[in-house]
Amino acid sequence: MARYAGLVEYDGTDFAGWVAQPGLRTVEETLAGALGTVLRQPVRLTVAGRTDAGVHASGQVISFGAETELDPSSISYKATAVLPGDLALRRCVAVSESFDARRDAKSRSYEYRIFNDPIRSPLERLRAIHVARRLDLGLLDKAASLVRGEHDLRAFTPAKSHHVRFVRAVKESSWEARDGLLVYGITANSFLYGMVRSLVGTMLEVASGSRELSDLVRLLEGAKRSEAGPAAPARGLTLVSVDYDNLDFGGGIQ
């Protein structure tokens, strides 16, 4: 059986997250169904990062095995042809038999987008949140810089979760102004459930003056979830890339 890796893109607005759930429309079930139709066999997917309901992806990565005479580019083309408009298998490549999209990932990167203007933007309503009050970009970036490094991040994931280890190594964490948006970028070895949205919600409290910057340091040392800010809405979050030692989808996309 040959092994493949796929680059997946989706608008998470109308999906109940990645993981297949009875009676709900999910990315996993929809994509596996399309691949099963094209390859004429059941397909089991392994995913780099399980996104939540409403979260988008431009650089999600999957791996799967299949017995087929189709070349990888035909797999992605034919699968996308039968997928709904909010989901696509952008690229597909052959990989080694041992490749695992989740286990072999070195890091994952997310972006969170805020449209910061007194008047909302209809064009950004599904990919960014609207914050009317003026946000201090410098203060947001100072808060983001504190997140870089290794921290106990249990304050930024639900108190009742499947996690048993809460320390994560954050490689990159910063805010920037981009095309009329404020964009938070974060890269880490792995993420806790709801971690990015909870970090953003807490940093927005810092930027609005309702929380001191110094308090974020305490939260990053293993505080309780109830002591951090609320999770920001899912629609502003996008999984933008997953890094591997040896994986190239070509075409300048990864």
Give the catalytic positions in this structure.
52
Q: Using CA atoms, how far apart are residues 201 and 205, in angstroms rounded to an integer?
A: 7
**H helical segments located in the chain:** 27-39, 72-82, 137-147, 195-208, 213-219
**What is the CB neighbour count within 10 angstroms for residue 103?**
10
Q: Using CA atoms, how far apart are residues 252 and 254, in angstroms rounded to an integer?
A: 7
Q: Using CA atoms, how far apart are residues 138 and 147, in angstroms rounded to an integer?
A: 15
**DSSP 3-state assignment of 96?**
coil
Residue count of the chain: 254
Chain centroid, CA 238 distance in Å: 5
